[in-house]
């Protein structure tokens, strides 16, 4: 899905279309920007087609839609009306957290592939209180089962929690064991806001392709372009260790 081997996915969690245009316009010419992630706040207010169209008018980079959370309804809805509406927006990827179960995961992945949209599957989120061992409602072994099932279905792109390096390592091993030769990892939760160490997260994904998803650490700064360049220098230090 990405044109670069390594880079940053910018999370466009801004509040207006004007702010979106400014963010994309100031960062899209940076060679290490891999794509843009849009979420429900912008989409609910302005519509997915309109938001996607604005980004594509400025940049040719892929657009990833985070439905927050796609994969939490019955298979017929996720793979039917929801996906048809999403497909019309011409996005390149969609994030799926299949909390509704294996049948929803199967149908969602199958339908996304059929529509030419890259399914990006996540199992564990970045915040506390998500898993039952933290007081949450999701079984502690659910993320591993999700990653295993997604890999078995041929999924090659995954969302992992950037502020939980140990979880990344576990999920990476499960995905590798399922025979996914060249998995691609994306991770939110690093930097400003959720406190994850971008170097530690990146190290946990080795030797595979990795793309941090960064929002406030870029759009929340006075100069988004300069902030992105500063973050990329940190990532490059980790990349150099691979060679």
CATH class of the 8-240 domain in this structure: alpha beta
Q: Are 63 and 35 in contact (CB under 8 A)?
A: yes
Report the percentage of the chain scoring pLDDT > 90: 75
pLDDT score for 122: 96
The residue count of the chain comes to 243
Q: Is the peptide bond before 207 cis (omega within 30 degrees of 0)?
A: yes
Q: What band does 238 get if pLDDT is binned at 50, 70 and 90?
A: confident
Average pLDDT, whole number, for the chain? 92
Q: What band does 41 get if pLDDT is binned at 50, 70 and 90?
A: confident
Q: What band does 243 get if pLDDT is binned at 50, 70 and 90?
A: low
Q: Which of 233, 177, 164 is nearest to 204 (CA)?
A: 164
Output the CA torsion 73→155→190→124 (10° steps).
50
Q: Cα–Cα distance between 9 and 99 in angstroms, integer?
A: 24
Report the percentage of the chain scoring pLDDT > 70: 98
Q: What band does 119 get if pLDDT is binned at 50, 70 and 90?
A: very high
pLDDT digits (tens, 9 = 90+) for 162-210: 999 999 999 999 999 999 889 999 999 986 666 788 889 989 999 999 9
């Amino acid at each position: 899905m990405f044109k670069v081997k390594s880079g940053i996915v910018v999370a466009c969690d801004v509040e207006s279309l004007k702010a979106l245009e400014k963010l994309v316009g100031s960062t899209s010419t940076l060679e290490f920007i891999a794509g843009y992630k849009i979420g429900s706040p912008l989409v609910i207010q302005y519509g997915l087609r309109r938001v996607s169209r604005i980004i594509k008018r400025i940049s040719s980079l892929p657009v990833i839609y985070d439905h927050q959370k796609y994969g939490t309804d019955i298979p017929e809805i996720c793979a039917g009306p929801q996906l048809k509406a999403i497909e019309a927006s011409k996005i390149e990827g969609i994030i799926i957290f299949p909390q509704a179960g294996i049948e929803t995961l199967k149908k969602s992945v199958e339908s996304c592939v059929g529509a030419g949209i890259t399914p990006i599957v996540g199992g564990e989120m970045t915040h506390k209180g998500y898993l039952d061992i933290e007081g949450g409602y999701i079984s502690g072994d659910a993320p591993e089962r999700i990653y295993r099932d997604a890999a078995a279905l041929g999924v090659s792109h995954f969302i992992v929690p950037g502020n939980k390096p140990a979880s990344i390592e576990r999920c990476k091993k499960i995905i590798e064991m399922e025979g996914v030769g060249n998995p691609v990892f994306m991770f939110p939760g690093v930097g400003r806001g959720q406190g994850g160490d971008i170097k530690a997260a990146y190290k946990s994904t080795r030797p595979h392709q990795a793309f941090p998803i960064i929002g406030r650490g870029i759009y929340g700064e006075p100069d988004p372009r300069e902030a992105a360049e500063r973050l990329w220098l940190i990532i490059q230090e980790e990349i150099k260790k691979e060679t």
